[in-house]
Amino acid sequence: MQTINSTFNSQQFSADWSYPTPIWFGVERISELVNGCVLLGKHRPLVVIDTMLVEHPLIVRALERCSQAGIDLKIFSSFRSDPDTEMLDRGIGIFNESARDSVIGIGGGSALDLAKAIAFMAVQTKPIWTFESLPNLWKAANDNLPPIISVPTTAGTGAEVGRAAVLLDTLDNRKRLIFHPKMLSSLVIVDPTLTLTVPASISAAVGIDAFSHAFEAYCANGFHPMGDGIALQAMCLIKQWLPIVFREGSNLQARCYLSAAALMGAVAFHKGLGAVHAVSHSIGGVYGTHHGLTNGVLLPYVVAYNRPVIEDKLVRLSENLNLLQPGYESFVTWLREFLADLGIPSRLSQIIHEPFDSEYIAQLATADPTARTNPQTLSQQHYKTIIDNAWFGR
């Protein structure tokens, strides 16, 4: 049974936004999926959906309504977390062979990134890594993409409002990012009801992913007051509501706020990310660790290493989070306690149980596109130090 605050009114959490993607936010708004297809004028979508969600009652009903309206759905669910280029090629093949006209992504970050990548690459003639998230490579792309509808079922990655997709390069087990300004969803439907069945440990990990998006965006260099403001509010919401979701997963009010915060973190990181993601992408690609969980382990160590250039920002952040004493020490103490209370391990050696090559991970992290917007430039040796600190817990 759902536990809801006595003042909770689902209607107050129903709204339509545009940042710049049109976002339909609210309880059970998945039922409006058919309206989205009609609005976009598309009747033959490829539905990229996590296997575990194919029989979710709300999703089944939403897809049935689409079919009843004459929309011809093709389901693609034969992929796993951290999709790779083989899965992408399989999805593109289905899209083209069955003459699809649009893509609907339903699931966590992996499903949404794969859906966006299929829509993007289905109209390209150049190899995928031509469009890696490096300066100006995206300009070689055909930008006449089929429409994309994204329906997130976790509150973390914010992939639904991102302009990039993370895919695994199976040649070297590297996570790589492809980017294009037009790789934005045409419509996003955020229904916090779909997150109610996410287990506590996954809710915590993806919630910390959202926090790390907002934190790194806030700390990234560059003048972006809008991004900073959204990032600060996202972190405040996560501080307040993620522990409630972790303890009481059926609290729909908390799920609503956390779904909004995940969106905000992803909107904010258009400003940039940093060393947490550079290292996490690299570790996840090689060792298959959960992205949000890895972010959570790394976060205190990256904060410590970046301290000389972010200390002033941490004063303002501490004030916004209502910590007792604004500043670095207060923030780090709170952060470590916050992560521990959510069951996030404190060392990389607790989540990787095989021989670990910190030198190679440092090499990959240095080359990761997100490293460019870390608030200070870090060498491969700097990255190795951070990684070794996180491995040994020092």
* Residue-level pLDDT at 322: 96
Q: How far apart, in whole angstroms, are the C-alpha atoms of residue 278 and residue 280?
A: 6
The last residue of one of the domains, among 164, 193, 222, is 193
Q: Are 260 and 237 in contact (CB under 8 A)?
A: yes
**At which residue do the structure tokens 């729909």 appear?**
252
Q: Which candidate, 255, 284, 325, places its Cα nearest to that of 175?
A: 284
Q: Phi/psi zone of residue 383: left (φ > 0), alpha (ψ -120 to 50 degrees), beta?
A: alpha
Q: Which residues, including other chains, have CB under 8 Å from residue 277's CB and lie 6 or more apart?
A: 212, 216, 295, 368, 370
CA dist 370 to 98, 273, 303, 340, 347, Å?
Answer: 36, 5, 16, 26, 22
Per the prediction, the chain carries an average pLDDT of: 94
Is pLDDT at 6 greater than 80 in this prediction? no
Which tens digits make up the pLDDT trace of 328-341?
999 999 999 999 99
SS3 168: strand
* Whether residue 317 sits in one domain with residue 182: no
18, containing H or E segment:
strand 15-18
Specify the higher pLDDT residue, 160 or 12.
Answer: 160
* Residue-level pLDDT at 136: 64
Q: Which residues, including other chains, have CB under 8 Å from residue 111's CB and lie 6 or more apart?
A: 48, 49, 50, 79, 105
* Whether residue 330 sits in one domain with residue 210: yes
Which tens digits make up the pLDDT trace of 181-203?
888 999 999 999 999 999 999 99
* Whether residue 207 sits in one domain with residue 180: no
Structure tokens at 262: 């995940």
In the chain, alpha helices (H)? 33-40, 57-68, 85-97, 109-121, 200-219, 225-247, 252-268, 275-287, 291-320, 328-341, 358-367, 380-392
**Residue 171: φ, ψ to 5°:** -70, -35
The last residue of one of the domains, among 167, 193, 219, is 193
* Whether residue 81 sits in one domain with residue 21: yes
Q: Are 165 and 178 in contact (CB under 8 A)?
A: yes
Q: How far apart, in whole angstroms, are the C-alpha atoms of residue 313 and residue 112?
A: 32
3 in any annotated domain: no
Return the number of other C-beta atoms located less than 10 Å from residue 148's C-beta.
Answer: 27
* Whether residue 251 sits in one domain with residue 183: no
* Whether residue 126 sits in one domain with residue 64: yes
* Residue-level pLDDT at 140: 67
Q: Are 152 and 108 in contact (CB under 8 A)?
A: yes
State the maximum Cα–Cα separation within the chain, in Å, rounded to a whole number.
60
Is pLDDT at 2 greater than 70 in this prediction? no
The conformation of residue 172, written as its DSSP 8-state character, comes to T
* Whether residue 185 sits in one domain with residue 271: no
HEC assignment per residue over 366-389: HHCHHHHHCCCCCCHHHHHHHHHH
Q: Are 95 and 48 in contact (CB under 8 A)?
A: no
Q: Are 175 and 130 in contact (CB under 8 A)?
A: no
Q: How confident is the model at residue 177 (pLDDT cuts 50, 70, 90)?
A: confident
* Whether residue 227 sits in one domain with residue 100: no
Which tens digits make up the pLDDT trace of 215-267?
999 999 999 999 999 999 999 999 999 999 999 999 999 999 999 999 999 99
* Residue-level pLDDT at 129: 84
Name the domain count of the chain.
2
pTM of the model: 0.94
The last residue of one of the domains, among 193, 209, 226, is 193
1 in any annotated domain: no
* Whether residue 176 sits in one domain with residue 211: no
Q: How confident is the model at residue 101 (pLDDT cuts 50, 70, 90)?
A: very high
4 in any annotated domain: no
81 in any annotated domain: yes
The conformation of residue 125, written as its DSSP 8-state character, comes to -
Q: How far apart, in whole angstroms, are the C-alpha atoms of residue 95 and residue 87?
A: 12
The conformation of residue 4, written as its DSSP 8-state character, comes to -
* Of the candidate ranges 20-24, 173-177, 318-322, the one whose mean pLDDT is the lowest: 173-177
Domain, as residue range, for 62: 10-193
**At which residue do the structure tokens 């972790």 appear?**
246
Q: Are 271 and 220 in contact (CB under 8 A)?
A: yes
